């Protein structure tokens, strides 16, 4: 039986392990942390529970497919709800509205509250639905770096329609021209941050992220996001995948053009196939430092990171929903500060996620569990201690000015995440959440492929490689690696 070693138990690592175990490979995952899930983790204290990373579940069918492949009923292990409203938006001038799950209702509310003609929102969502349907088969569900894939009919279909992918203008320009009001443009520009990018630089193609949320739906697991990683972790174990925790892979061993195994805690473990679920830049810098690094990990700008406060709050705030955004008054300056100055912005866009709105057990009675996040640059050795204090003040001030809430009075307990802690916990290079950013017109081609061009039996899965970050795309990368291994 062929031995597969997976480095890391993030969602991508677990998913590829399940797929290969089903095919009869002997799969072992080595994870440096004491538990599985990578960025999909949780913290508990004083009766509060916080999901520490992802908060929005899209394309749940990709996770469900894994249970179905194993002949199990996904609803038993990962029940979820469609969320409605999807998000609650607050602008500095007092404009507020909710993004309802039903597109017509959302568009109508934006027309009433912010003056954006509903037809603009609906035509926008229709355009990017069409674009997604053209792009996804070739760019998300397959490796376009594998030349033989271009013979597949779905690739040829995409190739004939490349001009429709809206890749020659930026998201910002497209959205400013499409919408009458700055409110709608800013709302849709926000989707650039879903892969840690800058709306003023990424191709308008990435507007298809809004399609995932507004047309296909935003979801939430019944027990919170942690249930996504844990239910798949349990599924992997039922398929015979072996997990070793507290087991950092220290180096990958190779001979000529083949990897032969990995070194863990000083032991040499033989492998026929090695799959890295570690961030690609971390992988080359730490695990194969003597191998020439590919341009995908040396030449391109990193995605953003974040500063997150996990607050236990001793009151209920009915004006808030599961997901809330308090927008910055100057989005352009905010992104220039993040990407050009590598600093945090004094008037940041604040994202607030409160899972106790849907899961009352996530906070004690009469309380709420706030996850409050701002975008931050990756870690270039800034003074994070001082930046976190500054961010905390800016956020508290903003919550007061937008919502009239003096939140500091209500804090019962607090945890924090910074680019430094994210790097330490998940091995993301410089704490960047999604590997390279998608800034730049050719960004899709600048991600590391799911396979090594030098070593025949070395593969890559997860958010820093093709097709990109976020749970659904990590699950796509696992599917692609399975396909590459099974249909060489």
Ligand X SMILES: Cc1cc2nc3c(=O)[nH]c(=O)nc-3n(C[C@H](O)[C@H](O)[C@H](O)COP(=O)(O)OP(=O)(O)OC[C@H]3O[C@@H](n4cnc5c(N)ncnc54)[C@H](O)[C@@H]3O)c2cc1C
Binding site for ligand X (CB under 6 A): 7-13, 30-33, 38-40, 53-56, 248-249, 277-278, 287, 306, 308, 426-428, 433, 462-463, 469-471, 474
Looking at beta carbons only, is 31 or 109 nearer to ligand X? 31
Looking at beta carbons only, is 199 or 306 nearer to ligand X? 306
Q: What's the burial of 401, exposed, middle or buried (CB within 10 Å: 0-12/13-18/19+)? A: middle
CB of 246 to ligand X, least distance (A): 9
Under DSSP, is residue 291 helix (H, G, I), strand (E, B) or coil?
coil
Neighbours of 185 (CB within 10 A): 23
Residues 6 or more apart whose Cβ sits within 8 Å of residue 426: 10, 38, 39, 279
Looking at beta carbons only, is 193 or 394 nearer to ligand X? 193
Peptide bond preceding 158: is omega within 30 degrees of 0, i.e. cis?
no
CB of 196 to ligand X, least distance (A): 9
Looking at beta carbons only, is 261 or 463 nearer to ligand X? 463
Strand 368-376 versus strand 350-354 pairing type: antiparallel
CB of 119 to ligand X, least distance (A): 29
CB of 150 to ligand X, least distance (A): 26
Looking at beta carbons only, is 13 or 199 nearer to ligand X? 13
CB of 204 to ligand X, least distance (A): 21
Instruction: Encode 8-48 in three state secondary structure.
Output: CCCHHHHHHHHHHHHCCCEEEEECCCCCCCCCCCEEEECCE
Looking at beta carbons only, is 30 or 100 nearer to ligand X? 30
CB of 59 to ligand X, least distance (A): 9
How far apart are alpha carbons 283 and 276 in whole angstroms? 7
Q: What's the burial of 385, exposed, middle or buried (CB within 10 Å: 0-12/13-18/19+)? A: exposed
Peptide bond preceding 369: is omega within 30 degrees of 0, i.e. cis?
no
CB of 454 to ligand X, least distance (A): 19
Looking at beta carbons only, is 38 or 377 nearer to ligand X? 38
Strand 3-7 versus strand 26-30 pairing type: parallel
Strand 411-417 versus strand 305-313 pairing type: antiparallel
Chain residue whose CB lies nearest ligand X: 10
Looking at beta carbons only, is 83 or 433 nearer to ligand X? 433
CB of 208 to ligand X, least distance (A): 14
CB of 39 to ligand X, least distance (A): 4
Looking at beta carbons only, is 185 or 274 nearer to ligand X? 274
How far apart are alpha carbons 7 and 28 in whole angstroms? 9
Q: Taking the CA of residue 422 as centre, how many other CA atoms within 13 Å lie in the half-sphere pointing to its CB?
A: 29
The widest CA-to-CA distance across the chain, in whole angstroms, is 65
């Amino acid at each position: 039986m062929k031995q597969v070693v997976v480095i890391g138990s993030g969602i991508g690592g677990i998913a590829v392990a399940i797929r290969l175990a089903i095919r009869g490979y002997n799969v072992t995952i080595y994870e440096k942390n004491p538990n599985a899930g990578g960025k999909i983790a949780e913290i508990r204290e004083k009766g509060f529970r916080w999901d520490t990373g992802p908060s929005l579940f899209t394309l749940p069918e990709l996770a469900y497919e894994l249970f179905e492949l194993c002949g199990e009923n996904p609803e038993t292990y990962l029940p979820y709800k469609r969320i409605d409203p999807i998000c609650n938006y607050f602008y500095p001038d007092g404009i507020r509205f909710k993004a309802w799950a039903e597109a017509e209702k959302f568009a109508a509310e934006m027309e009433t509250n912010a003056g954006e003609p509903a037809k603009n929102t609906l035509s926008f969502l229709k355009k990017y639905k069409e674009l997604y349907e053209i792009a996804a088969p070739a760019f998300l569900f397959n490796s376009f770096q594998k030349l033989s894939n271009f013979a597949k009919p779905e690739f040829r279909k995409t190739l004939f329609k490349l001009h429709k992918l809206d890749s020659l203008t930026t998201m910002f320009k497209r959205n400013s021209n499409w919408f009458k009001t700055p409110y709608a443009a800013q709302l849709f520009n926000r989707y650039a941050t879903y892969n840690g990018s800058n709306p003023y630089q990424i191709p308008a193609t990435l507007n298809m992220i809004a399609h995932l949320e507004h047309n296909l739906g935003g979801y939430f697991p019944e027990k919170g996001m942690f249930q996504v990683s844990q239910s798949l972790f349990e599924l992997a174990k039922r398929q015979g995948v072996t997990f070793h925790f507290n087991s950092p892979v220290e180096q990958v061993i190779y001979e000529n053009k083949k990897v032969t195994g990995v070194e863990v805690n000083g032991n040499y473990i033989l492998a026929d196939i090695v799959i890295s679920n570690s961030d690609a830049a971390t992988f080359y810098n730490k695990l194969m430092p003597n191998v020439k690094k590919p341009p995908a990990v040396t030449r391109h700008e990193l995605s953003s990171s974040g500063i997150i406060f996990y607050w236990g709050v001793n009151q209920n705030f009915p004006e808030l929903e599961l997901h809330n955004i308090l927008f910055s008054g100057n989005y352009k300056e905010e992104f220039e500060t993040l990407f050009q100055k590598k600093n945090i912005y004094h008037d940041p866009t604040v994202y607030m996620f409160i899972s106790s709105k849907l899961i009352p057990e996530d906070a004690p009675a009469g309380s709420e569990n706030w996850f409050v996040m701002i975008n931050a640059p990756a870690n270039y050795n800034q003074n994070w201690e001082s930046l976190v204090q500054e961010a905390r003040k800016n956020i508290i001030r903003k919550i007061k000015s937008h919502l009239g809430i003096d939140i500091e009075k209500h804090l019962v307990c607090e945890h924090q995440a910074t680019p430094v802690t994210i790097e330490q916990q998940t091995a993301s290079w410089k704490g960047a959440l999604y590997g390279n950013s998608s800034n730049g017109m050719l960004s899709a081609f600048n991600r590391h492929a799911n396979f090594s061009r030098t070593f025949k039996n070395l593969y890559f899965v997860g958010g820093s490689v093709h097709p990109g970050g976020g749970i659904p795309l990590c699950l796509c990368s696992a599917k692609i690696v399975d396909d590459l291994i099974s249909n060489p």
